[in-house]
Amino acid sequence: MGVRNRIEVMHGVNLDQLGRRDPDVYGGLSFDRLEQQIGGYAREQGLTTRFFQTNAEDEFVEHLHRLEGLSDAIVINPGAWTHYSWAIRDALEIAGLPSIEVHLSDVNAREEFRRVSVIRDLCLETISGRGVEGYRDALTRLKEELQT
Ligand code: DQA
């Protein structure tokens, strides 16, 4: 098999509005800056990234359907869909790629509904509350996974 280094970074609902969300919770970074930083972390590790964000659940699902042959692993932050979208869970299972769930904020230290993740058990790991650093950790973990 050739080099497996293609990471799909997928952001769901409302993450495009990051710069307008509570900086105490989300750190005040704009969405563009977040993606730039993640791209930089990936380059440092010799990984290539593609980015996808949408506020439409059907587009998110269809994007997962189309990953076959295009990506080797997924970093996924579905935003609020994390907590209830069985459709996204099923699509992630269909994609069948090693995945890490990332949340900028500490979902376990917020409202009760955020403690539920319908994708958690499909992911190698869940990283939450580490801000943009969480994405670096996710990339490191996926790199390890792809090398084994
Ligand atoms: C989030 C946490 C979710 O609970 C929330 O709905 C988001 C962002 C995070 O990155 O911390 O939109 O996924």
Instruction: Measure 143 CA to ligand 1 centroid, in angstroms.
Output: 24
Instruction: Indicate if ligand 1 lies below 6 Å from the C-beta of 98.
Output: no
**d(C-alpha 58, C-alpha 44), whole Å:** 33
By alpha-carbon position, which residue is closest to atom 12 of ligand 1?
Answer: 79
Instruction: Measure 3 CA to ligand 1 centroid, in angstroms.
Output: 32
Which among 146, 88, 82, 79 has a CA at the least distance from the CA of 120?
Answer: 82
Active site residues: 26, 103
Instruction: Indicate if ligand 1 lies below 6 Å from the C-beta of 79.
Output: yes
**d(C-alpha 144, C-alpha 79), whole Å:** 25
Instruction: Indicate if ligand 1 lies below 6 Å from the C-beta of 103.
Output: yes
**Beta strand segments in 14-119, E:** 48-53, 73-79, 99-103
Q: What pLDDT does 1 receive?
A: 63
pLDDT at residue 148 above 90?
Answer: no
Which among 94, 10, 1 has a CA at the least distance from the CA of 51?
Answer: 10
pLDDT in tens, 24-65: 899 889 999 999 999 999 999 999 999 999 999 999 999 999
Q: What pLDDT does 135 receive?
A: 98
pLDDT in tens, 64-116: 999 999 999 999 999 999 999 999 999 999 999 999 999 999 999 999 999 99
Instruction: Indicate if ligand 1 lies below 6 Å from the C-beta of 105.
Output: yes
pLDDT in tens, 111-138: 999 999 999 999 999 999 999 999 999 9
